[in-house]
Amino acid sequence: MESPRMIILLILTTLLALCACSSAQKNSDFLECLTIQFQSSNSAPDGVIYTPRNASYASLLLAQNQRLVPTSSERPELIITPFHESEIQAAVYCSRKLGMQIRVRSGGHDYEGLSYNSENPFVIVDMRNIRSISIDIDEKTAWVQVGATLGQLYHTLARKSKTLAFTAGVCPPVGVGGHFSGGGYGMMSRKHALASDNIIDAKLINANGQVLDRKSMGEELFWAIRGGGGTSFGIVLAFKVKLVIVPEIVTVFNVSRTLEQNATQLVHRWQYIADKVDENLLLRLFLSSIRSPIHGNRTIQASFTTLFLGRVHELLPIMQDSFPELGLVEQDCIEMSWIESTLFFAGLRNESLDVLLIRTPQTGIYFKGKSDYVRRPIPIQGLRGIWRFLNEEVENTAQLQFSPYGGVLNTFSESETPFPHRSGNIFMIHYGIFWTRGGNAESERHINWIRRLYSYMGRYVSRSPRAAYFNYRDLDLGRNAGRNTSYEQASVWGFRYFKNNFNRLVRVKSMVDPSNFFRNEQSIPPLS
């Protein structure tokens, strides 16, 4: 007679074997379906479909954030790296037919790894090969395919023109697909708004596998994918964007001050001018705890990292007028071309322009980020509380970014696009914590730190809702549970990212994808 423990073990083992078997069966059914679909459109599966048995599978799965590297049981059944839209259509068709989830990855920089992780059996459609960029100099527009990176876009623009540029983020390997569809804030955002504000057309594959452009998708869906994220609505293939004109010479500086150099008062004062100064000027603030080179003790360093769309002789009087306390002098400033400034802000100064084309993720770094919006200046005592938190972590591993708003961002109504963080916001806070040693205890300690800091900051930031930036995705704000997403559940995080635009996003989702084919832990739910 078997003991009850043995019986339970036997049942579990049988269930596991059945699961593994059905997953393997699903996998081979999917492969077969794809192969048939590929044959009918004259595509070759070689170099497009990767199973865990392929040598390149592991390198394709390399993640930007070590915290989110899928474990062996969480890996995708297949990775598909299409070259043609027909191959994506085939993936949509087969995954609908076989009930397999799709995760779309463009640059792979999702803060919670939702483009390459899933609790359910899934395939990754990795857009890295769909990355061409075509620029129309006369029209001052560009069609940018989603697998291109920001660095590739900047590089391509610089080779065509000295004065045409685009307004988007500072990190070159970030992908166009996720970044543009979720917002896209960068060093020119006070003058030229967000990447998503400059989208004028798009190509997308919907849940029925149809390829749509702005005209055929209609204005509601086109509205949704300009800040509401592409992921809930389809697979975006490309965006057409308005380019912006920049002066041939711009000015940058990065001036740092420690507590001993009056950093607290400077940061406090900065909050009164950052969103109001000339819109050609974006004074971003980076805060971290460092070891003082003078006395060797820990101190806080505030780095004012700035782009001015003009020459130094124009900048100095503006700074003297608006922020004389910083004591900026000509020697602090560097004049350069806009493309050189993209290298400067990416920490790649003096590198060749081709470094912008590198897309391999930096591995081995664990990371967790969060965001907040500030509508009233944080008082001095509030800043001192932040300093205490920063000093708790090892120097240079925790960082806060204060990104100023105002300027042209104020001229958009909250509902013009799904991105609602417009007039009334002084700045956005990005909280980041990085570590390099694995292990649950280590991770828990750092994640706990950032959650405690976030809880402390509650009294100083926006309320009802406590707003957050969708592109700094944070699953702490809530998540959909499984397939049966609910409006109530998603409202918890949906209103924080999108305010009242959340309701319109839900209506669009219900219209274009009522069966909730495109879904993830923070996708927009359809009304059931």
Measured from the CB atom, the residue of 170 and 383 that comes closer to ligand FDA is 170
The residue behind tokens 């459609």 is 125
Of 186 and 526, CB closest to ligand FDA: 186
Number of residues located near ligand FDA, criterion CB under 6 A: 35
Q: Which of residues 71-100 bind ligand FDA (CB under 6 A)?
A: none
What length is written for the chain? Answer: 528
Residue among 34, 80, 221, 235 that touches ligand FDA (CB under 6 A)? 235
Does 278 bind ligand FDA (CB under 6 A)? Our answer is: no
Site for ligand FDA in 198-217 (CB under 6 A): none
Residues 18-77 that bind ligand FDA (CB under 6 A): 64
The residue from 460, 472, 487, 497 that is catalytic is 472
- State which of positions 447-506 bind ligand FDA (CB under 6 A): 471
Q: Does 158 bind ligand FDA (CB under 6 A)?
A: no
Of 76, 121, 177, 228, the one binding ligand FDA (CB under 6 A) is: 177
Q: Please say whether the beta carbons of 426 and 275 come within 8 A.
A: yes
State how far the Cα of 125 lies from the Cα of 86, in Å rounded to an integer.
13
Position among 186, 418, 420, 465 found at the interface with ligand FDA (CB under 6 A)? 186
Residue 107 interacts with ligand FDA (CB under 6 A): yes or no: yes
Pairing, β 366-374 against β 398-404: unpaired
Q: How far is CA 454 from the centre of its chain?
A: 19
Query: Residue 106 in 3-state DSSP?
Result: coil
CA-to-CA distance for 262 and 301, rounded, in angstroms? 10
146 or 267: CB nearest ligand FDA: 146
Q: Is 362 exposed, middle or buried (0-12, 13-18, 19+ CB in 10 A)?
A: exposed
Where on the phi/psi map is residue 197: left (φ > 0), alpha (ψ -120 to 50), or beta? alpha
**Other residues' Cβ atoms within 10 Å of the Cβ of residue 481:** 11
Write a three-state SS string for 358-397: CCCCCCCCEEEEEEEEECCCCCHHHHHHHHHHHHHCCCCC
- Given the structure tokens 């406590």, which residue do they identify? 466
Please select the residue that binds ligand FDA; options are 184, 404, 465, 525, rule is CB under 6 A. Answer: 184
Cα distances (angstroms) measured from residue 518 to each of 33, 129, 139: 19, 21, 34
Among 34, 114, 266, 307, binds ligand FDA (CB under 6 A): 114
Return the number of the residue (95 or 471) whose C-beta is nearest ligand FDA.
Answer: 471
Nearer to ligand FDA, 191 or 383 (CB): 191
CA 42/CA 359 separation, integer angstroms:
29
Question: Which of the ranges 9-17, 109-117, 331-339, 440-448 carries the binding residues for ligand FDA, by CB under 6 A?
Answer: 109-117
- Smallest distance from the beta carbon of 228 to ligand FDA, in angstroms? 11
Amino acid at 291: R
Helix%, strand%, coil% for the chain, nearest 5: 40, 20, 40
Residue 152 interacts with ligand FDA (CB under 6 A): yes or no: no
Are the C-beta atoms of 305 and 285 separated by less than 8 Å?
yes
User: Which residue of 141, 196, 231, 280 would you call a contact of ligand FDA, by CB under 6 A?
Assistant: 231
- Which CB atom, from 235 or from 263, has the smaller least distance to ligand FDA? 235
189 burial level (CB within 10 Å; 0-12, 13-18, 19+) = buried
Q: Indicate the residue among 369 and 377 with the shorter CB distance to ligand FDA.
A: 369
93 is catalytic: no
* Interacting residue with ligand FDA among 30, 185, 419, 498 (CB under 6 A): 185
Q: How far is the CB of 189 from ligand FDA (least distance, A)?
A: 8
Q: What are 487's two structure tokens?
A: 């409006």
Distance from C-alpha of 109 to C-alpha of 129, rounded to nearest angstrom: 16
Q: Is 353 in the site for ligand FDA (CB under 6 A)?
A: no
Determine the distance from the C-alpha atom of residue 400 to the mean position of all C-alpha atoms in its chain, rounded to a whole number: 16
Minimal distance in Å, beta carbon 493 to ligand FDA? 13
Q: Residue 119 and residue 133: Cα distance in Å, rounded?
A: 34
- Contact status, residue 143 vs residue 238, Cβ threshold 8 Å: yes
Candidates 69, 80, 164, 236; binder of ligand FDA (CB under 6 A) is 236
Question: Residue 487 class from Cβ within 10 Å (0-12 exposed, 13-18 middle, 19+ buried)?
Answer: middle
What is the Cα–Cα distance from 355 to 344, expressed in whole angstroms? 12
Q: Which of 80, 127, 267, 333 binds ligand FDA (CB under 6 A)?
A: 127
Q: Does 146 bind ligand FDA (CB under 6 A)?
A: yes
Site string (497-526) toward ligand FDA, x via CB under 6 A? -----------------------x------
Contact (CB, 8 A) for 282 and 190: yes
Q: Determine which residue in the list 121, 175, 465, 526 makes contact with ligand FDA, applying CB under 6 A.
A: 175
The one among 31, 98, 133, 171 contacting ligand FDA by CB under 6 A: 171
> Among 49, 50, 92, 105, which residue sits at the site for ligand FDA (rule: CB under 6 A)?
105
Question: Which of 155/312 has CB closer to ligand FDA?
Answer: 155
Where along the sequence are the contacts to ligand FDA (CB under 6 A)?
64, 103-111, 114-115, 127, 146, 169-171, 174-175, 177-179, 181-186, 229-231, 235-236, 471, 520
* Catalytic residue annotation: 472
